[in-house]
A and B are shown apart, each in its own frame.
Chain A
Amino acid sequence: MKEKKAWLGFLLPSLFGVTVFVLLPFFDVICRSFSTVVTKEWAGWNNYRMIFENQAFSLAVKNTIRFTAVCIPLLTGLGLFLAVQLSRLKTMQMIKTMFLFPMAMPAATVVLVWKMIFAKSGFLNLALNVSGLLPEGGAIDYMNSDEAFWVLVVSYLWKNLGYTIVLWLAGIFSIPKELTESAKVDGASPRQCFWLVILPNLKGCLYTITVLSFLNSLKVFREAYLVSGPYPQESIYLLQHLFNNWFVNLELDKMAAAAVCIGLTLFAVIMILQKFWIGEDEEM
């Protein structure tokens, strides 16, 4: 009987934390999304209507989706490709920790380097100029042009690629060698080995990496904010910029409505991913 109840002991502490720090505040946010900020008067769907009519919200959602849609496939794909190549190296275990360095780098220092590289008179323009690739008068301020989006993408990849590679490597090394060896004995080519043996075994890993990459993509706001402040070039204006600015202007009702919409969307996406990957696994 006691053994059967043991799960409660493990579950309760984290359930307690999630209830107090996530579920109850989120419930409060849901209530606030239907009321005014200070007077707490019933506002109905007014706050929701306002955010959907708000151009800044539309832009921030569009940019956030675009960023996520570009970055996550790039990061997971590139990470997997490099992890597979690196898994063949014998010295892999020794150099693995080096991949985590970008994660340990403080955002403030990264930002300083960005400024030096991507400013109009920065290293990138200088290098292009020296190599003759920059037409006269063609120097641009990368953070204040449409290129800012790609600067943010590259920065995100640089920061998260090492970590993703480490996760992929963990997944690759956890695949029993017998599986690949028996496939080879059965006459499978290396390509067949990868597509038919390794990749299906990395499905669980892919789910974790996708979710973590997605969560990390939200953190890229720090760098964008430190480089360009609360109103950056419009291609890198993300949802966090909007939330930050709304908080300054005490637009908590709009924030609450937007948070509910985003929370529900994220929940739906994660549920779909879970259903797609884990559900399939269970069927197998």
Chain B
Amino acid sequence: MKIRGWKRAMALLLAGTMVLLGGCSGRQGSGADGQGASGEKEQSGKEKMMGRYVEQEITLPEEMMEAGDYFMPVMQTMTDGSLALLEQNTGMFVSKDAGKTWERKETPWLKELENVYVSHMALAPDGSAAVVYSQLREETDDSLDAYVAEYLYVDPEGTVYRPDAMDSGDEIYQFWFDRESRLYGCSFSGNVFAVDPVQGKYEKCFELTTGLDYACFTEDYMVMLGDMGAVVYHLGEKRIVEDQVLQQFIEEHSDPMLGGAAGFYTITADAGEEPGVIYLAIKDGIYRHVIGGTVVEQIADGNLNSLGDPQTAMRGFAALAGDEFAILYDKGRLCRYVYDETVPAVPEEQLSVYSLEEDYTIRQAISLFQKENPGVYIRYEVGMSGADGMTAEDAIKNLNTKIMSGNGPDLLVMDGLPEKSYQQKGILADVTAIEKEMKGEDQLFPNLTDAFRKDGKLYSIPMRFQIPVIVGERAQMEGISDLSTLADTMEKLRGENPQGAILDLFIEKQLLRTLGNVSSAAWLDENGEMNKEALTDFLSQAKRIYQAEIAGYSEEELQEKRELFSGDENGGSKIAEPGISSAALGIAMENRGLGIGVMKGMGAEFNLIATLENQNDGFGYKIWQSDFFIPSTRLAIHADSVKKELAVEFFKFCFGSQLQDMELPSGFPVNQSSFEKLRKDEEADSALSEFAIVGDDGTGDVFSLTIRQASEEQFERLKEIVKTLKYAYIGDSMIMQAVCETGVRVLQGDLTAEEAADEIMKKTAIYLAE
């Protein structure tokens, strides 16, 4: 009896244990939670969820299509439910069938805006319109105070009014109409006014703390969106209403606002048919919120339509009848979003991609791939979204937990991840065979991929690359081959020019990081241990360079310049790496002697340098620390991905011409034929862009430049340089941090280079020993 009871108890204990363990266990490599490798379980166990918003492109009126890049219309849902577009040059068009056909509406008053600069335009549901504009300035007028805002209001009958400016001198820069077609304006000082355009009266409603980006109106509320979040104003009660849920949503989800610059928005909104309901469109999708409600719910996923495309900007958003939406994008695209209950809520084929930080290139790749393959859903997971205070270490720990529980992503962007460890542990698949298949149009630069080959295996390939270069007068650059010769040149230049900037790098950490980017490969010897000699030499040369730089400033000037960056440093944010285009411009404007930085692309960088080369025979560039390049968006496939075929397809797509042909901010394409296409013969002599900069020396001198495409010869030279690149600089953040923190004390004279090298070696000893 006693034994039976004991057995029963043990049986119960074991059964309970097994149940619990069964519940806890994860199938290796299965990706069960929908966030992991595929989300299969989500689909297989339950009935398939059907219905989602699908995107349909609407053909715009022909006149507007022809306007091309200069097409800057406003969009409005009219009182009768029709959709209207108003544009300065092409006029007004109305569609009563949700964009199928367009009918022109006469707008003779637009003639009055023919020779002015329109900075903002608003269209009311009843057909009235309001415009903020200024007179075009004479080219010779260099005065910065020449901008004076003028206003124009047109009532539904077409009568034109020109409201006077405010007595206070404050200027309206944006007009918005509410649902009753009453006019509101937002001024430069942040005041929001109810405007009576006929009488020319301005009644202050409230004040915004930052600039306004977008506004929308329900029957009772005005909702203003901007960097301050969301401000909800009750129109009847004339008071601001708290909406913490909306405020938090805007803070967490919105990108930095553009302030309506050039009519582009990162967030747009419109009121729905139901009272108090607003719809918001951001890159993550379309969201619904009831003013004062407790949730902001996603109704359309931005990853499945153009909203998720990072190269697409919004110009307007309209909620149409029947819970449909229209979004006006740049480049003359208007899309309608219609709920289709016959398609699955989420495409059945799923793939997941992980990157530690938001990666523009991979987001672009996902957007394009999904457009090409509407039946595939790519879940993009960002480890450090920036909204939740997650550190890199915590994000990697979370990723490791997912990988070890079999829920790891199918593809990984290796930037910032422990790649060496992942390779050794077998987390990453060998992509050698895939790379071999990339031929013809898809052929990659072999020297760039070889830089990542280890023992004949290839675990990741960068989607883009950057080239560290030095720009300046050729005569001065000739002798520069390393830090020591750079320091010699700096000292020589300082001797010749006792005042002003040379590299314009006066923040210690910024200088150390910039120099360290290309020197750090020498800090570790072949055994993986710190090389004291190399470290001491680096710090000694950095000190010489720093001293030569700051010798041209007075203590007050240095203090002033440093204060500009102190906010960044104290806030813990990384001081931006110096851009090579600003360095090249600085040299052309004679503000500095030399420039070092990374060249990331043709548009604003190589073409700018080439243009300056053509203008000034003495000006040139050379690769800084030969053979090195900086890889970006290193893509790898998870060895245990259950969607291996699809993962390989996406991997190939990322290196195919469709994506690689695009000019992206993260660097040059690694695809050879895409690189060749960077120079376009048809643009050989045309001006790519023109700009003018007012110097900060107080003289008011204007430096103007027309950037033209690099010549074939210049481009060939760049290509030759690219072909010589052999080694990838993959920064080790821990070592760089130790060098920068201790190196600052060397530059400030608190430590000798040798003492600092000892301290750095001590600091990094544990890290390297692990």
Q: What is the interface of chain A, defined by CB distance below 8 A to chain B?
A: 1, 4-5, 8, 12, 15-16, 19-20, 24, 36-39, 54-56, 59, 230-231, 234, 237, 242, 244-252
Contact = CB atoms under 8 A, between A and B. Distances in A.
A59 B766 contact: yes
A247 B400 CA distance: 8
Interface string B379-395: 00000000000000100
Contacts of B20: 20
Nearest to A242: B770
A73 B636 CA distance: 52
Interface of B: 1-2, 5-6, 9, 12-13, 16-17, 20-21, 393, 396-397, 400, 403-404, 418, 421-422, 425-427, 639-640, 734, 762-767, 769-770
21 contacts: A1-B1, A4-B2, A8-B9, A19-B13, A37-B425, A38-B426, A38-B427, A55-B765, A59-B769, A230-B393, A231-B764, A231-B766, A234-B762, A234-B766, A237-B766, A245-B770, A246-B770, A248-B400, A249-B770, A250-B404, A250-B427
The 9 A-B pairs with the shortest beta carbon distances in the complex, nearest first, are A56-B769, A55-B769, A249-B421, A56-B770, A38-B426, A37-B425, A249-B418, A38-B425, A248-B396
Residue from B12, B640, B763, B770 having most chain A Cβ neighbours under 10 A: B770
A56 B400 contact: no
A4 B393 CA distance: 53
Contacts of A231: 734, 763-764, 766-767
Contacts of B640: 38
Contacts of A37: 404, 425-426
B211 to A, nearest CB: 34
Contacts of B764: 231
B21 A24 contact: yes
Nearest to A234: B766
Residue from B13, B16, B422 having most chain A Cβ neighbours under 10 A: B13
A5 B5 contact: yes
Contacts of B13: 12, 15-16, 19
Contact of A234 (B5, B6, B9, B765): B765
Contacts of B769: 54-56, 59
A247 B401 CA distance: 9
Nearest to A230: B393
Given A55-B769, A234-B766, A252-B404, A247 B397 contact: yes
B17 A16 contact: yes
Contacts of B397: 247-248
Contact of A54 (B5, B418, B639, B770): B770
A39 B429 CA distance: 13
A250 B422 contact: yes
A38 to B, nearest CB: 4
Contacts of B418: 248-250
By DSSP majority rule, is chain A's interface helix, strand, loop, or mixed? helix
A12 B426 CA distance: 41
A247 B21 CA distance: 23
A19 B17 contact: yes
Given A36-B425, A39-B426, A248-B393, 19 more contacts: A8-B6, A16-B13, A16-B17, A20-B20, A20-B21, A24-B17, A55-B769, A56-B769, A231-B763, A231-B764, A234-B762, A234-B766, A237-B766, A245-B767, A246-B770, A248-B400, A248-B418, A250-B422, A250-B427
B328 to A, nearest CB: 45
Contacts of B17: 16, 19-20, 24
Contacts of A248: 393, 396-397, 400, 418
A9 B766 CA distance: 49
A143 to B, nearest CB: 13
Nearest to B767: A231
Nearest to B400: A250
A230 B394 CA distance: 11
Contacts of B6: 8
Nearest to B395: A248
Nearest to A23: B17
Residue from A4, A12, A20, A242 having most chain B Cβ neighbours under 10 A: A20
A252 B13 CA distance: 29
A12 B16 CA distance: 11
A52 to B, nearest CB: 13
A250 B1 CA distance: 51
A15 B12 CA distance: 12
A242 B32 CA distance: 31
Residue from B21, B393, B427, B639 having most chain A Cβ neighbours under 10 A: B393
Nearest to A11: B9
B403 to A, nearest CB: 8
Given A1-B1, A12-B13, A250-B427, A56 B766 contact: yes
Residue from A8, A19, A250 having most chain B Cβ neighbours under 10 A: A250
